[in-house]
Amino acid sequence: MAIQEQNEASLQNILLAESGKAAVYFFTPLCGTCKIGERMLEIAELTGISVPLYKLNINYAPRLREQWQISSVPCLAIVEDGELIQKEYAMQSVDHVYLMLK
């Protein structure tokens, strides 16, 4: 199961329209660590977490990158009711990612 990639404008619309918790995974296509982190998220997603997951190429997200002060990739941003509540740069393990999203 792949995480749905969004562009910046559509993601901002989704986050404004939805209430509750969501997760945004910032990545770049050539980043090997990003691929590993995304695989961890996919495994966590298979466990049945209810938090919607989105991924966003940081190269095409200048407004969110600036607004949320994303300093590197990979970065998992946890959002609640459209507001950033947590950023995680180290995808330590599937278990760690699962607990953040639970």
CB 11 within 8 A of CB 64: yes
Q: pLDDT, tens digit, for every residue of 54-101?
A: 999 999 999 999 999 999 999 999 999 989 999 999 889 999 999 999
The residue assigned the tokens 């590993």 is: 36
Query: Span 32-45, mean pLDDT?
Result: 94
| Residue 21 bridge partners (DSSP) | 80
Q: List strand residue ranges (DSSP E) for the chain, in order.
A: 4-5, 21-27, 53-57, 75-80, 83-88
**Domains of the chain, with CATH numbers?**
4-101 (3.40.30.10)
What mean pLDDT is predicted for residues 33-50?
A: 93
Q: Report the chain's mean pLDDT, rounded to a whole number.
A: 93
Give the span between the Cα atoms of 71 and 49, in whole angstroms. 27
